[in-house]
Structures are given as structure tokens and as C-alpha cells.
């Protein structure tokens, strides 16, 4: 294709260029995008890498901190309401056993009932702050993570997409992994604090009311803790395996739909469907195993709970007969210990959510913290009043980051003077698209220089120099917005007059004027 190199400081429509010293097998200007895994990175490594739990809250602001404090206070109060309730149950039993006068019994029961009402009102307020504050802060922080992740993705260099990720994975992480992260730092945190508060409060009250019976019942705690912790670890591993499988399935869909013409021309629909089903089968197997494991874990927890009931009732009866315990105190201790113990069992789903969120956050946070070698948002660099348009590649050595063993250019030089139209022709894979990638500074050469008007491309402000280059690819893409918006992508703050002028220069004004809504028409598909 032709390359017009003019002095108007406006556009240089460059598509492909050739090289005299290049290697065949170059992929398109994407630099070899494919399902290549990062060297030295195994599937097992991805499954075990997590971030510290507190790092999930890295993007909290002062409002979020206030919400988390209020939510924590509410969770502690809500959790303490259950142990306090056991005291009222004990008072209720004692009201029946210690008084023979019917009116006195009714009076005492009425007082206990009124205490239940007060406790309910307090628990309602505490539960409101617990759930509302943690859900709001979780939503706020998750939205901030999504925005930060997308911002970071958009300013990464092209090499990042060649080696690290692709469109399907990015979409999958934004839609799926952020939900797991939000779940791990939102309502589940409040629920976990509530359960810990119930556990601590329950045992404090139990020791006060009957320390000997409480010590006996403590034997039920280790099995519950072991069952809950083991369940959380197993579910976390299965969840990570399922996330990986779904991400790979999303990649298959994105690549198939994005290249549907190629797939159809080679009748590759069946193969694409087979690959998709293969990854779904892995995710399905992981989900089934997770379901069976969760069910087994819950069954074990319930068995331990009822065994604790049996032990408590038997030993509590002995305490009444031998140690002078009252019926209310025995019931108070039994219910307090069981409530505290069950709270640990109920914490298992929270621990699973935390583990899943930590695993999901690892790759996202790694991407967010990545500093690109070529940063399109960097405002440093030269900005000229005018640009002549001399383009030169001088003694360039280049290999794509995704394929470092394949030398594309070895001492390649090219000079296109301003005001000329050049056509660079070569066989497929000879390096034509690579020239464009270097001029657009999608990549930097390992050696040599890319020069514009005799100035090294690295010295320019990247955003400014790209605004001076007009690139028309072989397969242009229309974004899901109006024709006007698509044209305006070429210049920040473009006016309607400038948009119309650009359409005229591109010989597109005639067919645009025939569209139903002219510039405001929304294309349903790519041209």
C-alpha cells in the first residue's frame, strides 16, 4: 500500500512497509498475539498466588474507612446480640423454676419479654449499619478497582497484550474477578466480624455462668475449626481452577466471534465449539467438586453440633445434681457455647470468599501496578510547533517480545523524505507491519533508531506524535457509537466542522450523507 509523507503537519497514512533484512513468519502488527503463556509460569503457580487480605482495601478512601468503621461497630453489636440473648433464655427458665406464685411468674416473664424487645431494637440498628456500610464500601472500592484496572490496561504497551493477556481475559476479569473481590471485602467482612463477635461473646458469658460445663463443651471446638478451615482451603483451590477455565473459555469465544469470517471460511465452527466445551467441562467439574465438598463440610458441621448438644445435656444434668447449677445457668451455658461454636462453622463461607477474592485480586493488582515501558499517558517529551515529516529507520534491530528468538530486523534502514508517496512491498511476513508498529511506537527497537525529522521517536511526547500520524489498517473497526463519534476519535475536542472536513478529505461524506441519521447514525456492524 502507498505511504504518503507530507509537510502539512497533519496526516501520514501509513499501513505497511517492507524490509530487506527481516525474517519470515512475522505475525500482524499485534506482534504475535496468541494463546502463548508467559515463560516460566505454570498453571500450578497461577492457582496458588494470592494477595494479602488487607491489600484488597488498597483503594479505600476516607469515606470508605469511615463506612468500614461504622460497619465494624454494627457487626460487633449485631454479633453480641446472640450471646446476650442466651442470658435472657436463662432468666426465662429461672422465672419458671424459682417462683410458685402465678402472678409473680407472669411479672418476671413480662420483664424478660420486654428485654427481648430492647435487644431486638438494638440488633436491628446494628444489623443495618453492618450490612449497609459494608455493602456500600464494597461496591465503591470494587468500582474503583474496575476503573483503575481499565485505565491501566489502556495505557499498557502493545507488548503487554502480546505476552500477558488478551481481550477475552480482560473482559473476564472485569466482569468476574471484580465480583469475587467485592464479595471478599464487602458484606462478607461484616458477616465474619459478626460471627467472631458472637463466638467471643458466647464464650465469655459461658465462662461467667458456668466455667466447668464450658470447659467440657470446649471439646466441640477443635473439630468445628478443623472442618471449617479445611473446607475453606479446598473450596478456594477449586474456585481458582474454575476461574481459570472460565477465562480460557471467554478467550475462545472472543477470538471466534472476532474472527468469524476466518472461522467460517475454514469451517472451524466445530473445532471452536469443541475447545469451548473442553474449558466448560473443566469449570463444570470444578463446580461439581466444590458443591460436593461444601455439602460434605456442612454435613460434618451439623453432626458435630448435635453431638455437642448430647454432651452438653448429659453433663449439664450432672452439674444440676452434683454442683448446684440452676436450670437457667445450664441452659445459658449450653446455648452460649453452641451459638459461639456454630458461628465458627458459619464463618467457613466467609473464609472461602476471602480466599477467592485474594486469588482473583492477584492478577488484577499485578496488572494495576505494572509500569509500561512505553506509556501513552506520559506527558513528558518534545512537542513541536510544526512537523516536517521525514521518516527514517536507522540500523534497526528488532524482535517481538512474544517471540524473542525470531529476528525480524537486523540492521534495517529506511528513509522516506517529506512530501513523497512511498509504497513498500514485500511478501507476507517480511516485516511491513513491523515498520508501522515502530513508527507508531507500539514497540521500541532493541538497537538502532526510529527518527521523525531527525529526532529520535523516544524523545517526543507519545500522545502528541501519534496524533500526527494517521493509520488506516487493513481491517478497520467501528466502535459502538455514532459515525460522528468514530471520526472524532482521531482528535481530542474535535468540532462538528472538523469532523465534516475529515469526512470530506476521506471521500466518505457522500455515503455518510445518505445514511438515515447522517453523522449521528449508529453502525450495526463493521464496514
Residues 6+ apart with CB under 8 A from 22: 408, 409, 410, 412, 426, 430, 431, 434
**pLDDT for residue 130 is more than 80:** yes
Task: List the beta bridge partners of residue 4.
Answer: 421
pLDDT at res. 140: 94
Going by pLDDT thresholds of 50, 70 and 90, the confidence category of residue 26 is very low
Buried b (16+ CB within 10 A) or exposed e, 117-156: eebeeebeebbebbbbbbbbbbebbbeebbebbeebbebb
pLDDT in tens, 200-233: 999 999 999 888 888 888 877 777 677 777 777 7
**Nearest to residue 356, comparing CAs of 421, 286, 262?**
286
Q: In this model, does residue 319 exceed pLDDT 50? A: yes
Report the distance separating Cα 372 and Cα 38, nearest Å. Answer: 16
Residue 124 pLDDT class (50, 70, 90 cuts): very high
Q: For residues 355-378, give the mean pLDDT.
A: 86
- pLDDT at position 74 is 96
pLDDT over 80 at 522, yes or no: no
* Mean pLDDT, residues 320-328 taken together: 84
pLDDT of residue 219: 79
CATH of domain 43-368: 1.20.1560.10
23-37, 58-72, 159-173: range with lowest mean pLDDT = 23-37
Angle made by CA atoms 166, 476, 372, in degrees to the nearest 5: 35
Written as one string, the DSSP assignment of 336-378 is HHHHHHHHHHHTHHHHHHHHHHHHHHHHHHHHHT---SS-TT-
Across the range 347-364, mean pLDDT stands at: 88
Distance CA 225, CA 233 (A): 12
Predicted pLDDT at 248? 85
Cβ 436 vs Cβ 17: under 8 Å: yes
Residue range 47-53: average pLDDT? 78
pLDDT of residue 24: 38
Q: Who's near 520: CB < 8 A, 6+ residues apart?
A: 482, 483, 484
SS3 state at 453:
coil
Q: Which strand ranges, in their side-by-side order, compose the sheet holding 447-452?
A: 409-416, 391-398, 447-452, 455-456
CA dihedral 236, 240, 242, 246 (to 10 degrees): 150
Q: Express as a percent the part of the chain with pLDDT over 70.
A: 87
Rg (CA), the chain: 33
Could you give the 3-state DSSP secondary structure of residue 425?
Answer: coil
Q: Report pLDDT for 11.
A: 40
- Specify which of 12-16, 302-306, 341-345, 465-469 reaches the highest per-range mean pLDDT: 465-469
Mark 185-216 as b/e (b = at least 16 C-beta within 10 Å). Answer: bbbbbbbbbbbbbbbbbbbebbbebbeebbeb
pLDDT in tens, 109-119: 888 899 999 99
**Residue 450 phi, psi (nearest 5):** -110, 120
What separation in angstroms does the CA of 209 have from each of 200, 214, 220? 14, 9, 18
Local confidence band at 97 (pLDDT 50, 70, 90 cut-offs):
low
Determine the average pLDDT of the residues in 64-73.
Answer: 96
Average pLDDT (356-363) is 89
Alpha-carbon distance of 211 to 203, in angstroms, equals 9
Mean pLDDT along residues 328-354: 85
Domain 2-32+379-459 has CATH 3.40.50.300: yes
- The CA angle 18-24-27, to the nearest 5 degrees, is 85
CA dihedral sign of residues 482, 488, 494, 495? negative
Does the pLDDT at position 42 exceed 50? no
CA–CA distance, 430 with 24 (Å, rounded to integer): 5
Query: Helix, strand, or coil here: 280?
Result: helix
C-alpha distances in Å from residue 291, one per residue of 235, 249, 255: 9, 21, 31
Bridge partners of 22? 409
**Looking at the chain, which residues constitute the CATH 1.20.1560.10 domain(s)?**
43-368
Residue 144: what pLDDT? 92
Neighbours of 338 (CB within 10 A): 20
Average pLDDT of 85-108?
80
Query: Where do you find CATH 3.40.50.300 in the chain?
Result: 2-32+379-459
Considering only residues 16 and 461, tell me which one the structure prediction assigns the higher pLDDT: 461
Give the span between the Cα atoms of 366 and 369, in whole angstroms.
5
Decide: helix, strand or coil at residue 313: helix
Mean pLDDT across the chain? 81
Confidence of residue 33 (pLDDT cuts 50, 70, 90): very low
| Beta carbons within 8 Å of 505's beta carbon, 6+ residues apart | none
CA dist 375 → 33, 384, 399 (Å):
20, 19, 20
CB neighbour burial string for 276-302, b if at least 16 within 10 angstroms, e if fewer: beebeebbeebbebbeebbeebeebbe
Residue-wise pLDDT for 391-414, tens only, equals 999 999 999 888 888 888 888 899
Confidence of residue 137 (pLDDT cuts 50, 70, 90): very high
Pairwise CA distance, residues 402 & 117, whole Å:
67
State yes or no: pLDDT of 7 exceeds 50.
no
pLDDT interval class at 32 (50, 70, 90): very low
Q: What angle separates helix 327-346 from helix 269-322, to the nearest 10 degrees? A: 160
Share of the chain above pLDDT 90, in %: 21
Higher pLDDT pick, 56 / 47 = 56
* pLDDT tens string 438-496: 988 888 999 999 999 889 999 898 888 888 887 877 777 777 778 888 888 777 778 88
- Higher-pLDDT residue of 399 and 345 is 399
Choose from 161-165, 201-205, 288-292 the range with maximum mean pLDDT. Answer: 201-205
For position 87, what pLDDT does the model report?
92
Candidate ranges 222-231, 334-343, 506-515; pick with highest mean pLDDT: 334-343
Amino acid at each position: 500500500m502507498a505511504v504518503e509523507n507530507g509537510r502539512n503537519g497533519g496526516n501520514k497514512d501509513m499501513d505497511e512497509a517492507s524490509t530487506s533484512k527481516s525474517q519470515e513468519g512475522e505475525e500482524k502488527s499485534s506482534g504475535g498475539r496468541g494463546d502463548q503463556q508467559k515463560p516460566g509460569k505454570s498453571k500450578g503457580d497461577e492457582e496458588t498466588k494470592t494477595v494479602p487480605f488487607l491489600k484488597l482495601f488498597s483503594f479505600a478512601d476516607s469515606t470508605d474507612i469511615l463506612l468500614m468503621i461504622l460497619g465494624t461497630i454494627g457487626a460487633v453489636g449485631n454479633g453480641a446480640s446472640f450471646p446476650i440473648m442466651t442470658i435472657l433464655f436463662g432468666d426465662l427458665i429461672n422465672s419458671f423454676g424459682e417462683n410458685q406464685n402465678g402472678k409473680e411468674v407472669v411479672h418476671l416473664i413480662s420483664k424478660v419479654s420486654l428485654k427481648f424487645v430492647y435487644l431486638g431494637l438494638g440488633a436491628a440498628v446494628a444489623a443495618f449499619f453492618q450490612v449497609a456500610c459494608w455493602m456500600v464500601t464494597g461496591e465503591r472500592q470494587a468500582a474503583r478497582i474496575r476503573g483503575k484496572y481499565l485505565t491501566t490496561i489502556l495505557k499498557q504497551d502493545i507488548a503487554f497484550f502480546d505476552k500477558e493477556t488478551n481481550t477475552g481475559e480482560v473482559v473476564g476479569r472485569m466482569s468476574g474477578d471484580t465480583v469475587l473481590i467485592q464479595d471478599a471485602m464487602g458484606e462478607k467482612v461484616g458477616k465474619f466480624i459478626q460471627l467472631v463477635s458472637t463466638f467471643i461473646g458466647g464464650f465469655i458469658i459461658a465462662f461467667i455462668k458456668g466455667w466447668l460445663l464450658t470447659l467440657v463443651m470446649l471439646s466441640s471446638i477443635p473439630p468445628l475449626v478443623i472442618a471449617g478451615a479445611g473446607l475453606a482451603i479446598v473450596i478456594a483451590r477449586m474456585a481458582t481452577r474454575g476461574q481459570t477455565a472460565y477465562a480460557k473459555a471467554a478467550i475462545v469465544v472472543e477470538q471466534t466471534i472476532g474472527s468469524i469470517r476466518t472461522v467460517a471460511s475454514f469451517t472451524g465452527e466445530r473445532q471452536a465449539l469443541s475447545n469451548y466445551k473442553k474449558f466448560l467441562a473443566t469449570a463444570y467439574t470444578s463446580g461439581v467438586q466444590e458443591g460436593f465438598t461444601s455439602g460434605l463440610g456442612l454435613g460434618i458441621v451439623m453432626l458435630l453440633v448435635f453431638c455437642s448438644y448430647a454432651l452438653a445435656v448429659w453433663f449439664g444434668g450432672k452439674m444440676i445434681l452434683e454442683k448446684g447449677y440452676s436450670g437457667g445457668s445450664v441452659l445459658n451455658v449450653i446455648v452460649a457455647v453452641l451459638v459461639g461454636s456454630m458461628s465458627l462453622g458459619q464463618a467457613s463461607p466467609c473464609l472461602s470468599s476471602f480466599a477467592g477474592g485474594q486469588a482473583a485480586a492477584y492478577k488484577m493488582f499485578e496488572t494495576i501496578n505494572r509500569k509500561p515501558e512505553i506509556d501513552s499517558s506520559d506527558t513528558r517529551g518534545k512537542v513541536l510547533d510544526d512537523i516536517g515529516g521525514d521518516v527514517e529507520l536507522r540500523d534497526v534491530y528488532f524482535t517481538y517480545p512474544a517471540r524473542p528468538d525470531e529476528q525480524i530486523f537486523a540492521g534495517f534502514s529506511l528513509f522516506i523524505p517529506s512530501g513523497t508517496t512511498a509504497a513498500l512491498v514485500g511478501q507476507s511476513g517480511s516485516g511491513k507491519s513491523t515498520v508501522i508498529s515502530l513508527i507508531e511506537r507500539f514497540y521500541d527497537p532493541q538497537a538502532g533508531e526510529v527518527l521523525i525529522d531527525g529526532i529520535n521517536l523516544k524523545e517526543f511526547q507519545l500522545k502528541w506524535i501519534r496524533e500526527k500520524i494517521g493509520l488506516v489498517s487493513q481491517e478497520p473497526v467501528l466502535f459502538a457509537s455514532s459515525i460522528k463519534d468514530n471520526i472524532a476519535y482521531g482528535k481530542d475536542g474535535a468540532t462538528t466542522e472538523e469532523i465534516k472536513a475529515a469526512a470530506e478529505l476521506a471521500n466518505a461524506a457522500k455515503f455518510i450523507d445518505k445514511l438515515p441519521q447522517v453523522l449521528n447514525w449508529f453502525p450495526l456492524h463493521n464496514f
